[in-house]
Amino acid sequence: MTNGVMKQQSAHLLLEEKTRIANYLSGTDKGEAENYEIKRCNQPIKFATTQNEQNTVKSWGFDGRNTRKVSSELSGLSVGNVSGLKLKWAFAYPGATRARSQPVIHDGVIYVGSQHGKVYAIDLDTGCTFWSYQAQAEVRSAISIVKSANSPDEGLIIYFGDFNGAVYALNGLTGEEIWKTHLNDHKDTIITGSPKFYDEVLYVPMSSNEWASAADPSYECCSFRGGIAAFHAKDGSLKWKSYSIQENPKDTGKRNPLDIPILAPSGVPIWNSPTIDAKRQLLYVGTGESYTSPAAPTSDAVLAFSLTDGKMVWHRQLLAGDAWNMSCFIGSNYNCPEEDGPDMDIGASVILIEDEKKGEIIVVGQKNGIVHGLSPDNFGKIIWQTKIGVGGYAGGVHWGMAAEGSKIFAPNADTNFIGRFKDEDRRPGLYAIDAFSGEKIWYKKAIDQCKLKDKPACDPGLSAAVSATDGLVFAGGFDGILKAYNANNGNILWQYNTNQSFSSISGHHAYGGSIEADGPVLYKGHVLVNSGYLYGSRMAGNVLLNFSID
């Protein structure tokens, strides 16, 4: 209500009133801010003299192709030792009720954002904080780590965006600001997908919360367009900006019941981190639904942009006629488009698979429960489509799949938010799929382990992105349970319920809840995961957990 999707609707409320509403909706006092000092490190950051890629998990998708897979050498994890994982420490984000900025790591230093806009540099071993930086708004995406000649000191720059559309570059060693700029676009523009660095350019996806603004009957809906902004990494100057809808929204001549103009085309946000195709010099993203009728041909689609100038080279729509906004969800006829959904956008980053014998393929997971295989050489021609679930507002596939070789690991949520589909049709769990044929290799159902008192916020669905290393897949659920699966057969080798209270390394109260968006991070015998998401009827939490086989 302060910086989120209900900002416009709650603008007239006092902070105390917003807090009481948050407490009532969550059934707890977790809406109250806590002000306390985090544990500070006694020494500054000191990186190893020799730095290489084997010391870094550098971005949301772990690499330019967004495979979300790290080598066993980097992860330090295997089928043989994963059962030995134990909780090492818990870090509490002060005053938070959700934790969804995926950590990244360089040489034993964790970089992570937070709900209240603080970015932290945390010691992997002890959990103490080297430094923190206050951004203007929530940092909900992952940070991108870059070792660059443009950086002062030891050559490390971190890049990220915030919920207000600001983009930042910081000195990774000290936390000092190098530059700050802004998307300078629509007033409701936000950054959800993680910026991606490639060849001295930072590519920033543009999403928005205008879908929620549309719930206001007096709101002129809608005028936002998704897109990608490319910034020169050295100084933050804009290289190019390209939109997911090529034409500007205009008055359709239609009016809502309050005689407010309806604008179109609009929407088509980009919620995911871009995928880099260095060979073809293209950038791939998946898009969301339109906000007004008629639905744009680039909605619920994969778009290919030129890395050089931002020109849209091709697009492949995977679901036509999807126009939706919050007005539909609350049952209002004021700004709900004629299509009324079904809101089955592509929230997960697409994955570019490369195989020496089989070639290349783009794999896309969608909220409607369908996984698609597209040709990168034939304008995104659909090669195969595989149905793994019923789908819903949180998926189907919501935030991210992983790949090991030519095998795709696809999480399925199938969460029944509003009785949209029958329980017997739901198939929450994890699938392994052949990337080149779409054939299902195995499926492991997510069993309902929720306590009655935690329902319906607690749910077995897998919405968060999954992560892989050689022989293993890690996935967290709405129920707060983090699991390690055998990548060959889906057997569960280790699990831990994060939906509980913890004593944080600062000595303050920490608590877990739903694991909703960001995936586990695997690094040198450690597994890092955020727990807690008081949003979208999920379980609140404020904790970053570090598990170790030490």
* Out of 64-73, 111-120, 225-234, 332-341, least confident range: 332-341
Distance separating alpha carbons of residues 274 and 59, to the nearest angstrom: 11
* pLDDT value of residue 15: 44
Distance separating alpha carbons of residues 372 and 436, to the nearest angstrom: 10
pLDDT at 19 over 50: no
Q: Where is pLDDT greater, at 206 or 6?
A: 206
162-171: average pLDDT: 97
In tens, the pLDDT along 235-277 reads 999 999 999 999 999 999 999 999 999 999 999 999 999 999 9
In tens, the pLDDT along 457-491 reads 999 999 999 999 999 999 999 999 999 999 999 99
Structure tokens at 436: 């080149």
Q: Binning pLDDT at 50, 70 and 90, where does residue 7 land?
A: low
Contact 525/73 with Cβ under 8 angstroms? Answer: no
In tens, the pLDDT along 83-131 reads 999 999 999 999 999 999 999 999 999 999 999 999 999 999 999 999 9
Distance separating alpha carbons of residues 321 and 463, to the nearest angstrom: 24
In tens, the pLDDT along 205-224 reads 999 999 999 999 999 999 99
In tens, the pLDDT along 369-415 reads 999 999 999 999 999 999 999 998 898 999 999 999 999 999 999 98
Structure tokens at 427: 């198939």
Q: What is the mean pLDDT of the chain?
A: 92
- Residues counted in the chain: 550
Give me the domains of the chain, ranges plus CATH numbers. 72-102+400-414+421-549 (2.40.128.630), 105-343 (2.140.10.10)
Q: Where is pLDDT greater, at 166 or 536?
A: 166
What is the three-state SS of 22-52?
A: HHHHHCCCCCCCCCCCCCECCCCCCCCCCCC
4-23: average pLDDT: 50
HSE-CB of 405 using CA atoms within 13 angstroms: 11
